[in-house]
């Protein structure tokens, strides 16, 4: 009887462990994609990158009045990355303020502003051509009306809080939204 009880507990513990493992590998459908990294031939699997973590997603542009927000986005990335926040930038020319040459976009991000968070290749973020990540965000909240719209998304992808271009990434309002999903 003791052996059976012990085996039952062991089996139950194993099932719980497997259940926890399965949950850790669950990815919100909108992030179950690969995207090419900015100015690279390397792809990043957004599901593996985020692994159910909260995400700050931003549509960016190199030649916009809001481009200096890269500095605050990097600061937010540095502040919250160890707590699980993943920051992903999506350059877009939907508002005609992105470089035609990806190398120049990369220079703005990586050289001019020291961005270390993930930046993916330029793609549409609104309308019927929007990339799949922004199709999800647009359905959950609204399409960006300009560059540097910011989306704080819970780890399961169900909670989306949108901030317009004027919202500074390091503002108290944004930090509260980020901290609420950590």
- With contact defined as beta carbons under 8 Å apart, do 76 and 171 qualify? no
Q: Looking at 27, 47, 64, 109, which residue is catalytic?
A: 64
**73: part of which helix (H) or strand (E)?**
helix 69-80
Catalytic annotation present for 47? no
CA–CA gap between residue 168 and residue 65 (Å, rounded): 13
DSSP letter (8 states) at residue 30: G
DSSP letter (8 states) at residue 173: H
Residue 26 CA neighbour count, 13 Å, CB half: 11
Question: Which residues are catalytic, by number?
Answer: 64
């Amino acid at each position: 009887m003791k052996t059976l009880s012990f085996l039952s507990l062991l089996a139950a513990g194993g099932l719980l462990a497997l259940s926890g493992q399965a949950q850790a590998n669950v990815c919100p459908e909108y992030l179950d994609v690969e995207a090419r990294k900015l100015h690279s031939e390397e792809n990043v699997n957004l599901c593996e990158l985020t692994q159910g973590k909260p995400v700050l997603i931003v549509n960016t542009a190199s030649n916009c009045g809001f481009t200096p927000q890269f500095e605050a986005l990097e600061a937010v990335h540095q502040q919250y990355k160890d707590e699980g926040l993943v920051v992903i930038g999506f350059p877009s020319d939907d508002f005609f303020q992105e470089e035609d040459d990806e190398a120049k976009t990369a220079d703005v991000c990586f050289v001019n502003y020291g961005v270390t968070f993930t930046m993916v290749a330029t793609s549409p973020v609104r309308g019927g051509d929007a990339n799949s990540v922004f199709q999800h965000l647009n359905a959950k909240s609204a399409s960006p009306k300009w560059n540097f719209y910011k989306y704080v998304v819970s780890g399961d992808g169900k909670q989306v809080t949108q901030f317009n271009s004027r919202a500074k990434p390091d503002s108290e309002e944004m930090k509260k939204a980020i901290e609420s999903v950590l």
